[in-house]
Structure 1
Amino acid sequence: MSDLADGFTWARRLKVRHLESLLVLEQAGTLTEAAVRLHMTQSAMSHWLAEMESLVGAPLVVRGGRRLELTPAGQLMKRLAISVLGDVSRAGQALNASARGKTTRLHVGSVWSGVARVLPMAVTHFQRLHPEVSVTVTEQPVGTLLERLARRDLDVVLGTIDARTYHSGLQYETLFEDDICVVVGRGSPLWGDTGLHPLGSLVHEQWIVPPKGTTMRGQWDSALIDAGAPWLQPKVETAAITTLLTLLHSGNYIGVCSEEMTRYQSAHAMVHKVAIDRVIRFGAVGVVWNKDLYSETIEAFVQIAREISRPGGTGPAAAAR
């Protein structure tokens, strides 16, 4: 029992074969059938079970009718077996991919503009071609994403191309130019309004805007100055599109959103674009990656994003436009 309390000593004598045998035994229900499935004799199967029970210091199975059932100790070992064998399997896949110059995981960071259209299309098309790769998506302001990319927490970023992108260790490619739109939800009397509104006439509305320090907020503040309305006091500041949409539909709010996201949400009747008397540029949106970590997997994702963003291109977006 002292070995078990130690937490490690007993585990050093534990083999993957022990864990595999236990899972097969529970599924098979009998020692005989488990031995057949593992291509061993019944006595060998009994030996593996007895050895594991000796390590644990408690019975792992009991006979319940015609089938063997796991004891409480057996259930604990089953959870360990599922965890360990799952990790072993995933590590094997990753090592195999690494030997071929590939990876089984891709961590993508994105801003609103990318999430609206390019990112979901790129991920879907990418996984059709590379089903073995698991994709993780993180949505944050581009400054945070670029910091994480430089630290190698992310593999590739889909975001605004600005001065912060010109990091010596980063490579980028512009995909499209985006603008900023004024939007409302069903909670606003401006829902469905088709009139043209001077931006200055809307400054007393209840505004939801991106946080300070973001590219969109900087462009938005510049547009307010140009419109002679530099003192707008926002009601809410958020970088989350879900928060923006929820608030727009829960009260009389008005917000700002990228043209790409506005187009997507308008098509699903989630927001209404308010026509204003000026075009507010958001800027270039593109893909960014580390120069010294450009793998085949990242290259494949960048190529797909490039094809989706190209007007009249051959990517899956061409048919969706």
Structure 2
Amino acid sequence: MTPFQRKLRIRHLEVVLAIADFGSLSKAAVQLHMTQSGLSRAITEIEEIVGGRLFERTGKGMVSTPLGEAMCRHAQVLLGDLDTAETDLRAVANGDLGSLSVGCFSMFSGWPLAEAVRVFRSDHPRVALAIHVGMHERLIEDLDAGKLDLLLSRRLPTLNPEIYRSVDLLEDSVVLACAATHPLARQDAVALADCVTWPWIAAPPKNRVRMELEAHLRATGTTVPQMVGALSLEFATEMIAGGEYLCMLAASVGRTLEARGLLHVLPVELALNTPPLAAIWRRERSNTRQLREFTAALTSVVAAAGPPAGGDTKH
């Protein structure tokens, strides 16, 4: 064990992250239940261990140096691994067979995630399973920090294959949906020009899909509709149920909800480039049996549903 390993403590990692998060010694001290003088001594001790300054005091508060930013990255991973180890050990101590933490992009939190969980739990009832639903960017951060073992989301072009492994589950386009009682649902033929006269639930502004959609509409001389930006399946379906709004959904999700009588998928082409839905994990993390089995459950659920209109499965 090196002198660095002998001296660095878990509390040191918590101190560095708290200061970086709050940008203030006083606020970090409150969060950590320490005095400000005690926190100052702690950061001085940590800087002696790592051999350089971690923070600079500026008019905007405490700002991380390049060394501090690197320390924060490693602290997040180390503390995330400790949290995972604690969860896993607690599960085994309680008679379970380990644990698995899965993150899911919110638009896929119904199908296929819920069905995959049912399949996995049926085959592995003694694995402690935790599900975290949210936005792709935050979930990637949690995956990097070790808080998640696996992520279900679209495999964006920016995903570095040298850092992440992935299994493509589905090539999935984007469709436009409405309530079954909506006037457009009763029309035999629907054009995109008909749809833009109604308000939409779409991706938030500056989202890649939103910008691509708006560029396509303008290029074809089509009016850009009024939009509410949201990437929440629950919110979208609730707004659709109100009877007025149209909503952009993944084709696979739209087809599933339509089969349940919850909405109507409109026969219009949005002409968007959408990355495939994939199971994603970090290369340096162990490829556990739980992770492999959950990925297999996702694959089986997607395969059983069949490809959505305009898409096909990839394994």
The Cα offsets for residues 235-288 of structure 1, whole Å up to 9 and x where unpaired, read as x21111111111122241112111011111111111111122554443311100
Which residue number in structure 2 is paired with residue 263 of structure 1? 255
Amino acid across the alignment from 1:94: V
Amino acid across the alignment from 1:273: V
* Equivalent residues of 1:143, 1:164 under 8 A apart: no
Tell me the matched-pair count. Answer: 220
* Equivalent residues of 1:116, 1:264 under 8 A apart: no
Which residue number in structure 1 is paired with residue 98 of structure 2? 103
Matched, 1:132 2:130: no
Q: TM-score, normalised by structure 2?
A: 0.61
Q: Structure 1 residues 93, 147: CA separation in 2 closer, same or farther (over 3 Å shift)?
A: closer
Deviation at 1:201, TM superposition (A): 3.9
Amino acid across the alignment from 2:92: A
**Which of 184, 187, 202 in structure 2 is aligned with 1:209?**
202
* Equivalent residues of 1:215, 1:282 under 8 A apart: no
Which residue number in structure 1 is paired with residue 294 of structure 2? 301
Amino acid across the alignment from 1:161: R
Deviation at 1:212, TM superposition (A): 3.0
Amino acid across the alignment from 2:234: T
The Cα offsets for residues 114-150 of structure 1, whole Å up to 9 and x where unpaired, read as 3343212221111112111232222222222212211
Give the distance between the partners of 1:89 and 1:254, measured in 2 at CA: 42
Give the distance between the partners of 2:88 and 2:159, measured in 1 at CA: 34
Deviation at 1:159, TM superposition (A): 0.7
Give the distance between the partners of 2:103 and 2:208, measured in 1 at CA: 16
Give the secondary structure class of the aligned counterpart of 1:307: helix
Which residue number in structure 2 is paired with residue 221 of structure 1? 214
Which residue number in structure 2 is paired with residue 150 of structure 1? 144
Which residue number in structure 2 is paired with residue 183 of structure 1? 177
Q: Structure 1 residues 159, 89: CA separation in 2 closer, same or farther (over 3 Å shift)?
A: closer
Matched, 1:287 2:279: yes
Give the distance between the partners of 1:120 and 1:113, measured in 2 at CA: 12
The Cα offsets for residues 134-188 of structure 1, whole Å up to 9 and x where unpaired, read as 3222222222221221122211111101123226422111111001111112563
Give the distance between the partners of 2:119 and 2:254, measured in 1 at CA: 23
Amino acid across the alignment from 1:103: G
Give the distance between the partners of 1:93 and 1:277, measured in 2 at CA: 48
Amino acid across the alignment from 2:129: V
Give the secondary structure class of the aligned counterpart of 2:277: strand
Q: Structure 1 residues 230, 192: CA separation in 2 closer, same or farther (over 3 Å shift)?
A: closer
Matched, 1:172 2:166: yes
Give the secondary structure class of the aligned counterpart of 2:183: coil
Amino acid across the alignment from 1:229: T
Gaps of 5+ in 2: 1-85, 307-315
Q: TM-score, normalised by structure 1?
A: 0.60
Give the distance between the partners of 1:94 and 1:224, measured in 2 at CA: 54
Deviation at 1:222, TM superposition (A): 4.4
Which residue number in structure 2 is paired with residue 237 of structure 1? 229
Deviation at 1:90, TM superposition (A): 8.8
Give the distance between the partners of 1:89 and 1:164, measured in 2 at CA: 31
The Cα offsets for residues 202-241 of structure 1, whole Å up to 9 and x where unpaired, read as 323212112135454344334424433374431x211111
Between the aligned residues of both structures, percent identity stands at 18
Give the distance between the partners of 1:133 and 1:168, measured in 2 at CA: 29
* Equivalent residues of 2:165, 2:280 under 8 A apart: yes
Structure number with greater Rg is 1
* Equivalent residues of 2:198, 2:226 under 8 A apart: no
Give the secondary structure class of the aligned counterpart of 1:301: helix
Give the distance between the partners of 1:274 and 1:201, measured in 2 at CA: 11
